[in-house]
Amino acid sequence: MKIALREPKTEEVREIKTAKTITIKATPRLRGEITVPGDKSISHRSIIFNAIANGSARITNFLPGEDCLSSLDCMQAMGVAFELSEDKREVKIEGVGLHGLKEPGEVLNAGNSGTTTRLLVGLLSGQNFFSILTGDMSLRSRPMGRVIGPLKEMGAQIWGRKGDTLAPLAIKGSPLKGVDYALPVASAQLKSCLLLAALYAEGETRLTGLIASRDHTERMLSAMGTPLRVSETEIVVAGPASRLQAQNVEIPGDISSAAFWLVAASVHPDADLLLKNVGVNPTRTGIIDVLNEMGADLTRLNEREVAGEPVADLRVRSARLRATTIGGAIIPRLVDEIPALAVAALFSQGRSVVQDAAELRVKETDRIATIASEFARLGATVETQLDGLSLIGRPKLQGNTVKSFGDHRLAMALAIAGLLLPKGEAVQIEDYACADVSYPGFWEDLERVAEE
Ligand code: S3P
C-alpha cells in the first residue's frame, strides 16, 4: 500500500499556506539547548542508496522535511517499500538491489528539492525503463544542464525544456559507459549524480576538476561496498557495481540548520546556546571557520564519529564579531550557510564581502538578489556583484516586513535577524512556512530559546 507522506501539494495549496506571515521580535536573551533535525544531504542519500542496496536498513534521525520526503516519495513510486515512524524520523527501508527498481506509473515529483532531482537523474539514466521527473516552480527554473551534459557523454537519453536544461525531464534508461569528466562546478549534487550513474556504467568513471564539495556520497557508497577510489584530485569508480550492501544510518544533526543558532548566539549580547549532535564533516564546517575568524566564541564538545560521519556538540556564546571576506575554496564548504552568515555580517563592524559564489544565483532563489533586497529593508547597505555581495552592517537596524520568496534558508535567516534587532523592533516575514523544507520545528525552537 502506498504511504501518503503529506498533504496533497498543488501549487495553489502551497500559495495559500505560504501567504501567512509571522512576526519575530527582538529578544533580550538567548538560552538553552537545541537538537537540530537530521542532516538533509545525508537523509536523501540514506534513502536513495539503501533503496538500491541489498538487504534492509534502519535510518534514525531522518529529516522529515519536505525535501527528503520528496526523495522517499519518488523511491516509493519505483516500488521501494518502507515503514515510517509516526514522527517520520525513523525509516525502515527494504533495498530492491541495483536492478530492482520498477518503472514509475506516475510523474516523479521532487517538489523543491534539487538534491532529489539531480541524484535521481543520474540513477534513472542507467535503469531499463522510462521516467519523468519534475518539481515546483523554483525547481523547474534550476539548471539541470550541468548534470545532463556529462550523463549524455555516458550514453544517457534525457530530454527537458530549454534544450534539455530544465525540468520536467524525460529519461529513457539506457546502457551507460564510464566517463572521464572534469567537474566545472564544485557541486556535490553533480558529483553524486555521476557517481550513481557510474554504478550502472560499463568501465571506469573518473571524476576530476572541482571535486572538493560535501563528501557524504563517497562515504556512504564506500561503506556499502562500492568499488570507489577517492584522492585529493580524483574519484574513480570501477563500474558496473555488482551490489551495494544496505547500511543502517544514524543521521547527525544538520550543520546547515545549526548555522542559524551559531550566528544568532554569536551576535546576540546575552546568549549561551548548546547545539547537540551536530555533523561536523570537514567538507561542511566552513561556517565554523568563518565565525571563528570573525571573533566568535565557539567550543566543540563531545567529539565522536557516528555512522562514518564526525559529530560534536557545539557551545556558542555572545561575542563581538568583525566584518570578513568570504571567498575562494571555502565557498563549497559553506554554500548553504551564506544567508545565515549574511546575518552575522549585518550585525558586525565594517564591510563584509562574499565573492566567488555565483552558485548562489541558482539555489532555491537567486540568493544574491534575495539577500540584498530583504537585508536592505532592515537598514543594511548592500551591493551585489555577479558572484557575490558586500554588506555593511549598521548599529541602528530597523524592523520591517520582509519576504522569504519561498526560500527556507532565507526565511530562517530573516527570523534570526529579527531576534537580533534593537529592543522594540520586529520583522514580519511573509511566506515563513517554507522553513519546513529543511528544518521542521524551527519556529518552535526559536520560541523556546528566545527568552522574554
Ligand atoms: C547538496 C549540495 C549543494 C547544497 C544542497 C545540498 C547535496 O548543492 O547547496 O543544499 O546534498 O548534495 P550543489 O551541489 O548544487 O552545490
Q: Are residues 318 and 424 in the same domain?
A: yes
* Domain identity same for 232 and 289: no
For residues 236 and 274, state if they share a domain.
Answer: no
Q: What is the pLDDT of residue 143?
A: 97
Look at residue 7 in the predicted model and tell me its pLDDT: 59
> Are residues 83 and 230 both part of a single domain?
yes
Same domain, 258 and 239: no
Exposed / middle / buried, residue 289 (Cβ in 10 Å: 0-12, 13-18, 19+): middle
pLDDT tens track for 170-219? 999 999 999 999 999 999 999 999 999 999 999 999 999 999 999 999 99
Give the separation between CA 310 and CA 201, rounded to whole angstroms.
31
The alpha-carbon radius of gyration of the chain (Å, integer) is 21
Given 247, 275, 305, which residue is the final one in a domain?
247
Does residue 66 fall inside a structural domain? yes
Q: What's the pTM value of the predicted model, to 2 decimals?
A: 0.96
Which grid coordinates belong to 195? 557517481
End-to-end CA distance of the chain: 47
Pocket test for ligand 1, best of 70, 139, 189 (most atoms within 8 A of CB): 189
Residue where a domain terminates, one of 213, 232, 247: 247
Domain that holds residue 337: 11-37+252-451
Residues contacting 389, CB < 8 A, separation 6+: 342, 353, 354, 368, 371, 372, 382, 383
Task: Say whether both 132 and 27 belong to one domain.
Answer: no
Amino acid type, 60: T
**What is the number of other CB atoms lying within 10 angstroms of the CB of residue 272?**
16
Same domain, 66 and 45: yes
Q: Are residues 47 and 22 located together in one domain of the fold?
A: no
Do 208 and 324 have their domain in common? no
Q: Which residues of the chain have pLDDT under 50?
A: 9-18
Q: Which of 115, 309, 359 to mutate to test the pocket of ligand 1 (most atoms within 8 A of CB)?
A: 115
The domain that holds 129 is classified in CATH as: 3.65.10.10
Q: Around Cβ 373, how many Cβ atoms within 10 Å?
A: 15
4, part of any domain: no
Domain end, chosen from 194, 217, 247, is at: 247
Kindly state whether residue 201 falls inside one of the protein's structural domains: yes
Under DSSP, the state recorded for 333 is G
Cell of 316: 556558542
Does residue 5 lie within any of the structural domains?
no
| Omega before 240 within 30 of 0, i.e. cis | yes
User: Collapsing DSSP states into helix, strand and coil, what is residue 440?
Assistant: coil
pLDDT in the model for residue 12: 40
pLDDT at residue 19 in the model = 57
Give residue ranges with CB within 6 A of ligand 1: 41, 44, 115, 187-190, 192, 214, 335-336, 359
pLDDT computed for residue 10 by the predictor: 45
Ligand 1 atom with the shortest distance to the CA of 119: 12
Confidence (pLDDT) at 14: 42
Question: What spacing in Å lies between the alpha carbon of 246 and ligand 1's midpoint?
Answer: 23
Does the annotation count 67 as an active-site position? no
Domain count for the chain, please give it.
2
- Give yes or no: residues 16 and 87 share one domain: no
Ligand 1 atom at shortest distance from the alpha carbon of 363? 9
